[in-house]
Structure 1
Amino acid sequence: MTAITLLYIVFGAILLLYTVQESGAIRAIKRGFSDISPDRRIQAIIIAWLFGSLIEGASGFGTPAAVAAPLLVAIGFPAMAAVMVALIIQSTPVSFGAVGTPMLVGIGTGLSGDAVTGAGVASVAEYVPVVAGTVSIIHALIGILIPLIMVGMLTRFFGASRSFAEGFRVWKFALFAGLAFTVPYVAVAHLLGPEFPSLLGGLIGLLIVVPSARAGLFLPQDRFDFPPRAQWGSDWQGTVEPDTAEAEIAPHGQPARREISLLTAWMPYVIVAVLLVLTRTVQPLKAWLTGPDTTLALRDIFGSGINASAQFLYSPGTVMILASLISVVLFRMRGRDYGRAFAISARTMSAAAPALLLAVPMVQVFINSGGNGLASMPITLAQGMSAAAGEAWPFFAPLVGALGAFIAGSNTVSNMMFALFQFSTAQGIGLELAGITVVVALQAVGGAAGNMICVHNVVAASATVGLTDKEGDLIRKTLIPMAYYVVQAGLIGMAFIHGGLWWLAAVIWAAAVIATMARSRARLAAQPAE
């Protein structure tokens, strides 16, 4: 059931992409980004970091990668590059994705019990916003460098010179975009609570960064583009191809496809964002979409006592399919063009089905492995780590969160599994409530970082661009920013609790990561392209 719901989202994302492509609207979007900047680094920051964060705040559960990766492919990114940058941003905004679900449901459900209220917490409902405030600060301190690391990864693995330094040349713009998102993100978390930091942070960031980019503010003097398509490696490309054809010519010499304005071309994605916000924030509508009348429920399957359910009307897949249907009217599409988009989308989704249908049960076996007096495998691993770490546990707490997200494919599930464990472990090493709050926040931050490498997200995002059997390569690449994120979170957590030299250690770690990447330029420049 879980795999089918993920495939449904994949289908919706691909259908929306091909609707935009087959209508000819993609050409207007390409021109729009060329008007802002033809630089692929700038395009990645705007689409993946800012637009992706907005979509994460509205929907979550891997949707940003499913939306951003096809859009990047459509404007000329290699499929592998598009998925990689879309996965890297599945970090800072994730803790407040889906209108705060990882905090409200993940932490809220995970911390239910007498053990929490007996430790000085008045109520879990009042405690979650406190944790959320700490989460936002830790994320902001780490996430401000994510756009810079992302473009460094882009140029290192997909540039002609294979150099991190080529991406770092946009450091001013990257840091500007990082601040444009993280500052309102923290403010919203403290003022409005955990529902809207990512959503409003992404929206405000777009409103600041796009006009600034049009004005040339903080843009580099050089321009980065990918090598000619003929030089792309076979592993760079998926089965989804960008629309490279010029306007078709009708028999009487008139264009077969009318010119579409930039605003109209972007409307499908605006519609997606608006519908996601409405379905997640308008409570009567949300209640109906998630209620018993609109929920597909299977009870006591095969007499096993197991129940399963799916809320397809509430799914982001439905939102994207609905936006696609509206776009048919909006773009005045011909029936055969939309039929072609539908057929290609179905074939692409089918290619992703075997991996998802096998990966999801593997995850469920891992999560549900406890019983008969034995703890589950994730809990056993976490207990072993805490016993070995002792008072240094806050440094390792984000790793447990990342492990949970990697296994379960969800920051929300990771928080549900490990929030109480983190709370109890922090109590066990003698921390006061303020220190315990930091440890629980580190769980949420680590769980967000784990989304960069979780199998569900990698497979689903790859499927939207027709990239199959490359999941291992993508995980090896995204392990680099994930490692930076988890280690930096641990250092900042230790600094919050113990202060002193731990703040210096956090600064040194961030500087060392950037310096190590930048130094690769001279060595790599002397080597031929791989």
Structure 2
Amino acid sequence: RVPGAKFDLRPLLQAFFPYAIVTIIIILGQTVLKDALGKVIINPTFPAVATRYGWQTAAGTGRSINVFGHGGSLLLYGSLIVFAWYKWRGPLGTATAPSYSGQTIWRKTLKGWSKPTIGMFSLVAMALTMEHAGMTQLLAEALSQTGRLFPLLSPFIGGLGAFVTGSNTNSNVVFGQLQQQTAVALSLSVPLILAAQTSGGAIGALFAPAKVLVGVSTVAGAEDGDVLKAATTYGVAILLIVGAITWLATLLR
């Protein structure tokens, strides 16, 4: 802060405005406007499929899609309101930010979300293919051979998924169903094992190479190899602790 300068609250409020609008819209969309926004729902149906090895997946409906009340739709509403406000009273399109037109923002948004979207579609497709082809069940049966030691390994599976994919969400997509089926096969608590999975994924994301490279790129002179080595050491130690806690929790049930 410059000595003698007056504190101006308006820039702070302007920066906080988008978060406030999005929060309000999400709250309204989940409470007061929930019924109104939930009138258009898509329920996709899928036929039965079978592999030549005998694994069968019965026909059924997929997850319902709430077109206007979906979380992504609520974020879109908030983005449009904030954009309109910034165009009217904010910096967009003014002399201070002449390049931030609607087309520019839309173009940068498309460029930014293309790679993550393709990656997520690919991971979900792989996870569903493994589930419907019986591969997830086969892996679960193999992991069930570890017996009561499986809870100790559960966080490491989640951590491995995050380490490879760079995301806890992606790890849950790939290994969540596997962990659930293994827990059922071993008569373990499904919520407990899934908690270990997502906890391990959160820890594994801390030392995922993709995350480390992004972090190191913001610090001058930092060596990604040294950072990755240190982060992995601490991460594995934390995974051991989480695994031990999960194992003890299964013994106490």
For the 8 Å contact 1:398–1:490, the answer to whether it is kept is yes
Shift of 1:367: 1.0
From 105, 119, 136, the counterpart of 1:345 = 105
Q: Structure 1 residues 312, 410: closer, same or farther in 2, change over 3 A? A: farther
Percent identity between the two aligned chains: 17
Shift of 1:345: 3.1
Shift of 1:394: 0.9
Q: Structure 1 residues 265, 361: closer, same or farther in 2, change over 3 A? A: closer
Shift of 1:493: 1.4
For the 8 Å contact 2:200–2:239, the answer to whether it is kept is yes
Aligned to 1:445: 199
For the 8 Å contact 1:398–1:486, the answer to whether it is kept is yes
Q: Structure 1 residues 261, 338: closer, same or farther in 2, change over 3 A? A: closer
TM-score norm. by structure 1 comes to: 0.31
Mapped to 1, the partners of 2:250 and 2:13 lie a distance apart of 49
From 77, 80, 85, the counterpart of 1:326 = 85
Counterpart mapping for 1:4-153 below 5 A: none
For the 8 Å contact 1:397–1:439, the answer to whether it is kept is yes
Q: Deviations over 1:78-110 (max 9, x none)?
A: xxxxxxxxxxxxxxxxxxxxxxxxxxxxxxxxx
Mapped to 1, the partners of 2:201 and 2:38 lie a distance apart of 25
Q: SS state of the match for residue 129, structure 2? A: coil
For the 8 Å contact 1:450–1:482, the answer to whether it is kept is yes
For the 8 Å contact 2:161–2:204, the answer to whether it is kept is yes
Mapped to 2, the partners of 1:443 and 1:420 lie a distance apart of 9
Aligned to 2:21: 271
Counterpart mapping for 1:21-420 below 5 A: 260-279=10-29, 281-282=30-31, 284-292=32-40, 311=67, 314=70, 315=72, 316-331=75-90, 334-335=93-94, 340-342=99-101, 343-352=103-112, 354-356=114-116, 358-370=118-130, 374-376=133-135, 378-387=136-145, 389-402=146-159, 409-410=169-170, 413=173, 417-418=177-178, 420=180
Mapped to 2, the partners of 1:321 and 1:479 lie a distance apart of 40
Shift of 1:393: 1.0
Q: Structure 1 residues 485, 422: closer, same or farther in 2, change over 3 A? A: farther
Shift of 1:273: 2.7
Q: Deviations over 1:339-377 (max 9, x none)?
A: 622444334334345533542343134212247x9423x
Shift of 1:384: 3.2
Which amino acid in the other structure matches residue 331 of structure 1? Answer: G
Q: Structure 1 residues 358, 382: closer, same or farther in 2, change over 3 A? A: same
For the 8 Å contact 2:93–2:100, the answer to whether it is kept is no
Shift of 1:264: 4.0
Greater relative CO (CA pairs within 8 A, separation 6+)? 1
For the 8 Å contact 1:260–1:331, the answer to whether it is kept is no
Shift of 1:442: 1.9
Mapped to 2, the partners of 1:451 and 1:292 lie a distance apart of 36
Pairs aligned (count): 214
Shift of 1:292: 1.4
CA RMSD, Structure 1 to Structure 2 (Å):
4.9
Mapped to 2, the partners of 1:397 and 1:483 lie a distance apart of 13
Shift of 1:398: 1.9
Which amino acid in the other structure matches residue 289 of structure 1? Answer: L
For the 8 Å contact 1:426–1:439, the answer to whether it is kept is no
Q: SS state of the match for residue 341, structure 1? A: coil
Matched, 1:495 2:248: yes
Which amino acid in the other structure matches residue 247 of structure 2? Answer: M
Shift of 1:439: 3.3
Q: Structure 1 residues 362, 265: closer, same or farther in 2, change over 3 A? A: closer
Q: Which runs of 5+ in 2 are unaligned?
A: 3-7, 47-58, 219-223
Mapped to 1, the partners of 2:9 and 2:153 lie a distance apart of 55
Q: Deviations over 1:101-156 (max 9, x none)?
A: xxxxxxxxxxxxxxxxxxxxxxxxxxxxxxxxxxxxxxxxxxxxxxxxxxxxxxxx
Which amino acid in the other structure matches residue 267 of structure 1? Answer: F
Mapped to 2, the partners of 1:263 and 1:492 lie a distance apart of 44
Shift of 1:450: 5.4
Shift of 1:395: 0.7
Which amino acid in the other structure matches residue 424 of structure 1? Answer: V
Q: SS state of the match for residue 322, structure 1? A: helix
Q: Structure 1 residues 262, 361: closer, same or farther in 2, change over 3 A? A: closer
For the 8 Å contact 1:411–1:447, the answer to whether it is kept is yes
Which amino acid in the other structure matches residue 385 of structure 1? Answer: L
Mapped to 2, the partners of 1:478 and 1:271 lie a distance apart of 40
For the 8 Å contact 1:402–1:449, the answer to whether it is kept is yes
